[in-house]
Chains A and B, each alone.
Chain A
Amino acid sequence: MIVLVIALVAVGAGLIVLLVRRSSPMAAQLIGLGATALVAVLAIGIDPADTTEVAGMAVAPSAMLRLVATVWSGSLLLLAILELAIGGRAVIAGPALVGLGAVVLGLGVPDPGTAFAAFAAGSVPAVLFPGVSAWVGRESEPERLTTLRRAAGAVIAATVVAIVVVAWGSSPVGPLGSGEPLTTEDPDRAIALGLALLAVAAAVIVRAGLIPAHLWAARFMEGVSSLAVPAALSWPTAAFALVALGWGQVAIGSPTATAWLEHGLIALAAVASIAFGGLAAILHEDIEHVLGYSIVQDAGIALLAFASLRPESTEAARNWLIASAAVKTALAGWVAATRWTFGAHRLPDLRGWARRSPALAVALVAITFAAVGLPGMAAFDARASLAFEAVPGGLGGLVLLASFSSILYYGRLLAVGFRNMGGLVANAPSPSPRWVGSRPTGWSSRSVVLVVQDVPALVDANRAPIVATITIALAAIGFVIAATGVGPA
């Protein structure tokens, strides 16, 4: 029941925020923050055993759903506060809440087709509205809107393919509807299963903006606030891939493990995304592109699970996808905080950022450890498992090595931060906490009033440390999820 409540609260509040955002931005901010906090509290109370029948379908939560809902809503709350702190215009909370509600509902229903449709219905606002907001005042750049249409079109295209393939699986000729045991001995059936696997993998590639369908994702990153990226790309893509993997394992399963051509094509697309995504993140000089291509690389690692479909790789993909979404949410927060703090987003202009703001450096170090990982951390082990399950032997080692290129782009960000400070960084507001206003020397009712009256000025004077603290909190969430994973299914 609580899953349904969360979905209704999130979608309802998100739509209200979208409606009132222009006429009353402050009300939209408050509604967004309140609803996100409420959803975060409700998400903690999700009971995996609490199955409810809703409109003819059982909505059954799971430990994974609880983790996704808790982490995403908690991170979204921090992102919304961050947006408020950096003077944003209530862009992210509304669409992200709609997306969150749709993902919670989709992960709770047993039918993958319903889940895919819910994800798309929630993702379109998350892609569209932040992009349109960024376009206002830049009407001379119509290609921004074209990019948005492509992004929304990619979401719909992936969904349509996934819905039709899932329906085929449940049809009388599909592996689930036929009632026959899965077998690849029948050559017609083997071809059909292989094509279904390729179609589902293609849907994931398009939805995640993986190579070769990466252009919309790359251009989307250029145009919108980085705070909007997790709701548009990271979490819905993770949910989409999780459901697609679950369906693939049940409907197609390991009998197609001998289908080397299909698996080879999927592994090729995954490796291309890992290698070129990592390379692009290393070569690009603006931090939004680093964020975008690192997301592409992470999704490429998750795609490896479709190249084997064994239970071990599905389990590893589950850990990887959720950890990756949490870590990239933290990185998105860091990108927004850094850009706001220093008024720059290109690495040559950010020289010495870590010296100027050690708190932001702490956040990026935590993000780096979470993203790259250490042996024993769930995400670290999941990446190795995905690489070797999909590409056994020495080649698997090479794939794993390519996936560690993240060390280079995170290292580059940190290295730039410890160089001599450039002009923009040197002139940035002080990251140290400051006390402004009156300083009461003793406790009385009058001194309390004085302190309360000074709170707005105090917050205003300490925006930089507040922003950095929020970023550290986001990084801590990412690190914990990367370390612990989902746990047993």
Chain B
Amino acid sequence: MTVALAVIAVAVAAGAVVSIAARDLRLALIGVAVVAVGSALLVDPLSSPLILAIRIVGALLAVALLWTVVVATHDEAAAGGRRGSRGPLDGDAGSPLGWPAEALIAAGAAFAGLGIAANITGGGFSVVGAGPTEVTVSLTAASPIAAAATASLVLGLAPAMFGRSAIRGAIGLVLIVHGAIGLRIALAGSPADLEQLVFAGLVIACASIGFASPGVEHPAADHDARPGG
């Protein structure tokens, strides 16, 4: 089970890197879909088929909401005769750091997640600074879940806070929420079915931010403090 979780965790982290670093927003959304589906599977024990299906459908619905905006914007750009464009909204070309740097950040965050899980499993504060042997022994199902969760959460922070387009911001928020849900599972165990249903609603709500306010970029004077504000 842990091996399967580890494979899924790697896929989630890779999906998060793609969703942040891809220039083409359609590719970025495929990355988000991988994160969404993978996150629904990162539970030990696995949820009931019905709940699992609801979480996956909810997560894909969130991606579909963003996809409609991206496709509509792409069509508008094509109708407007934007020649030589590489993809929808490529004025906002994803992470300025590039995918290798983002992958490195994800790896660092994942190791931090492993540390958190090892610390929790090993009994908390008394094992801070434990040797490699003890840490190896304490690898459990929570470890890959925490690793994927922290990678997703950390990668989502920059676009959520500084993303120039609403879609990039929404992608960041979706990653953060998936990361928080993963951390919640890694720390406190399998959630109840009702909690998973609410999580599905939360992910859709995050995507609705990008859906309801599409295509608007931060104005240049956005960081000012208006008098009277």
A binds B: yes
A114–B195 touching, CB < 8 Å: yes
A156–B177 touching, CB < 8 Å: yes
Stretch touching chain B among A20-28, A170-178, A315-323, A425-433: A170-178
Q: A128-B208, A153-B173 are in contact. Are A113 and B125 (CB under 8 A)?
A: no
Point out which of B120, B123, B194, B198 has the most chain A C-beta atoms below 10 A from its C-beta.
Answer: B198
- In the assembled complex, B3 has its CB within 8 A of some CB on chain A: no
Binary contact track A132-160/B, C-beta < 8 Å → 1, others 0: 10000000001101101100110011011
Residues of B within 8 A of A148 (CB): 213
Stretch touching chain A among B8-16, B75-83, B101-109, B214-222: B214-222
Binary contact track B157-189/A, C-beta < 8 Å → 1, others 0: 000110000100100010011011101100111
Residues of B within 8 A of A163 (CB): 180-181, 183-184
10 contacts between A and B (CB under 8 A): A55-B193, A57-B195, A117-B201, A128-B213, A142-B218, A153-B160, A170-B189, A173-B123, A186-B125, A189-B125
Residues of B within 8 A of A114 (CB): 191-192, 194-195, 198
Q: A124-B206, A145-B216 are in contact. Are A171 and B120 (CB under 8 A)?
A: yes
- In the assembled complex, A353 has its CB within 8 A of some CB on chain B: no
B201–A177 touching, CB < 8 Å: no
Interface of B: prevailing SS:
helix
Inter-chain CA distance A216–B203, complex, in Å, is 22
- Contacting residues of chain B (82-134) with chain A, CB-CB under 8 angstroms: 119-121, 123-125
A167–B187 touching, CB < 8 Å: yes
Residues of B within 8 A of A173 (CB): 119-120, 123-125
Inter-chain CA distance A160–B189, complex, in Å, is 17
Interface of A: prevailing SS:
helix
Q: A120-B205, A124-B208, A289-B228 are in contact. Are A177 and B166 (CB under 8 A)?
A: no
- In the assembled complex, B30 has its CB within 8 A of some CB on chain A: no
A219–B193 touching, CB < 8 Å: no
Residues of A within 8 A of B123 (CB): 172-173
Q: A156-B206, A173-B120 are in contact. Are A117 and B199 (CB under 8 A)?
A: yes
Q: A156-B206, A164-B187 are in contact. Are A57 and B125 (CB under 8 A)?
A: no
Separation in Å of the B198 CB from the closest CB of chain A? 5
Residues of A within 8 A of B228 (CB): 284, 289
Inter-chain CA distance A31–B123, complex, in Å, is 54
A109–B213 touching, CB < 8 Å: no
- In the assembled complex, A49 has its CB within 8 A of some CB on chain B: no
Partner of A55 from the list B197, B201, B208 (CB cut-off 8 Å) is B197
- In the assembled complex, A415 has its CB within 8 A of some CB on chain B: no
- In the assembled complex, A168 has its CB within 8 A of some CB on chain B: yes
- Classify chain B: how many residues form its interface, as a range: 35 or more
A177–B199 touching, CB < 8 Å: no
- In the assembled complex, B7 has its CB within 8 A of some CB on chain A: no
B180–A129 touching, CB < 8 Å: no
Interface residues of B (CB under 8 A from A): 51, 119-121, 123-125, 153, 160-161, 166, 169, 173, 176-177, 179-181, 183-184, 187-189, 191-195, 197-199, 201-202, 204-206, 208-209, 212-213, 216-219, 221-222, 225-226, 228-229
Inter-chain CA distance A88–B203, complex, in Å, is 30
Residues of B within 8 A of A113 (CB): 184, 188, 191, 195
Residues of B within 8 A of A192 (CB): 125
Residues of A within 8 A of B153 (CB): 160
Q: A156-B176, A171-B120 are in contact. Are A128 and B183 (CB under 8 A)?
A: no
B192–A57 touching, CB < 8 Å: yes
Separation in Å of the A17 CB from the closest CB of chain B? 15
Inter-chain CA distance A337–B212, complex, in Å, is 28
B166–A149 touching, CB < 8 Å: yes
B212–A117 touching, CB < 8 Å: no
- In the assembled complex, A489 has its CB within 8 A of some CB on chain B: no
Inter-chain CA distance A370–B166, complex, in Å, is 41
Q: A129-B212, A146-B216 are in contact. Are A170 and B187 (CB under 8 A)?
A: yes
A128–B212 touching, CB < 8 Å: yes
B180–A160 touching, CB < 8 Å: yes
Inter-chain CA distance A264–B154, complex, in Å, is 30
Residues of A within 8 A of B217 (CB): 142
- In the assembled complex, A259 has its CB within 8 A of some CB on chain B: no
Inter-chain CA distance A178–B213, complex, in Å, is 44
- In the assembled complex, A218 has its CB within 8 A of some CB on chain B: yes
> Which A-B residue pairs are the 10 nearest by beta carbons?
A173-B124, A55-B193, A55-B194, A188-B125, A124-B205, A56-B192, A121-B201, A170-B188, A167-B187, A167-B184
